[in-house]
Structure 1
Amino acid sequence: MYSRHSSRALSIDIRRCSTPEPLGLQTLERTGLIHLVDDVVISKAVSLSKPNPAIYHLSLEPLQVDAADAWFVGDSPRNDVWGPQQVGLRAAYLPTGHPIGLERPDAVLHDLRDVLNLV
């Protein structure tokens, strides 16, 4: 989740899949974006999974912005494009091997650092 609502307003929703939870944080460290992170929502910790609309709303709460003013960034067409769009978020797709079907992202990123060009 990404929004430029304040000087430091980047909220990331990290979902634990088959990889350890720290993997998402390590990716942010490697790309130099970790200093922009204000909040982390881990689905296992909140007992919600994407594409349940509640997890997107929960990710928005700390930012205090409307869904239309934020971006959801991810690599899963269903969970990170279709799901967020159902609650009014704009979705940026980062291709990593999950092919796009009927989903239509609002933006396609080539690198995670491209998130800085969204707003």
Structure 2
Amino acid sequence: MLFDLDNTLTHRAQSIERYVARFLQDFQSRLKTVDPKSLFALISATDNGGYGRAGNPHPSIKASIAHRLHRELAWRSPPSEAALLDHWFHSFPTCAVLMPGALEILTELRKQNLPVAILSNGNDLSRQATVDALGLREFCVDVFSSDRLRLKKPDPATFRHVAEVLGIAPEACLMVGDHPTVDVCGAQSAGLSAVWLRGFHNWPEIHPMPISIDTLSQLTAWFRHRKN
């Protein structure tokens, strides 16, 4: 079993809400004024569900967020852009919020002795820190990032390489993710089966829709039924 991380095992928007609270705790005394809802909207728009915006002039999403926070907030005593970047890098993983049903499905898969790995695009240190902050390490045989692999979803080579490292044939792997193209179609093009977690992206009409779920609890119920 392969799981995406953001908006699959974690809830990105709720994680940003928690980060906003941390940000205000650490920086509010240096701001003239700030509206938490506006701050959440600024970060969410820049983050775009963990995918960033097309044409982003910065090297990463976190760099874009740090730049906008530095330029657009009403600072009394502004920290450097580098300090804001460092704050996001070290604080955001600790603000991660589990997707409802995440522990339930991971616990069920462990009971059934089914190996689980996480496959996520992004910086390896932040991926690992998020997994550790949420206590997911004990459920996973490995945590793969595009940074570590030098391969990125939806490239089919990414999924095939991970399956090879795990010692599992691609056709015996199931990928669960929220993004139709990056997670689902990418996995299918590599010979894996895939389940789409609805609610975060629209399904592109050019592709036939796969098995889909609205919640991870539905996946847990399916595996329990399969066992029985």
Larger deviation: 80-89 or 8-17?
8-17
Question: How many residues are matched?
Answer: 112
2:121 is the counterpart of 1:15: yes
Question: Counterpart amino acid of 2:117?
Answer: S
Q: What RMSD, in angstroms, separates the aligned Cα atoms of the two structures?
A: 3.0
Q: Distance in 2 between matches of 1:109 and 1:85?
A: 20
- Report Cα offsets for 1:20-61 as digits up to 9, x if no partner: 4257526863xxx54220011100122211111111012112
Question: Counterpart amino acid of 2:152?
Answer: S
Q: Distance in 2 between matches of 1:27 and 1:91?
A: 27
2:62 is the counterpart of 1:62: no
Q: In structure 2, do the counterparts of structure 1 residues 115 and 93 end up closer, same or farther at CA, with 3 Å as the change threshold?
A: farther
Q: Which runs of 5+ in 2 are unaligned?
A: 4-108
| Rg comparison, structure with higher value | 2
Q: Distance in 2 between matches of 1:68 and 1:75?
A: 20
- Give 1:1-119 correspondences, 5 Å limit: 1=2, 7-16=113-122, 20-22=126-128, 25=131, 29=135, 34-102=137-205, 103=207, 104-111=209-216, 114=219, 117-118=222-223
TM-score by length of 2: 0.42
Sequence identity percentage: 24
Query: Hey, which bits of structure 1, 4+ residues long, moved more than 6 A?
Result: none
Question: Counterpart amino acid of 1:13?
Answer: L
How many angstroms does 1:113 deviate by? 7.9
Q: In structure 2, do the counterparts of structure 1 residues 36 and 21 end up closer, same or farther at CA, with 3 Å as the change threshold?
A: closer
Q: Which runs of 5+ in 1 are unaligned?
A: none
Q: In structure 2, do the counterparts of structure 1 residues 22 and 40 end up closer, same or farther at CA, with 3 Å as the change threshold?
A: closer
TM-score by length of 1: 0.73
- Structure richer in helix, relative to its length: 2
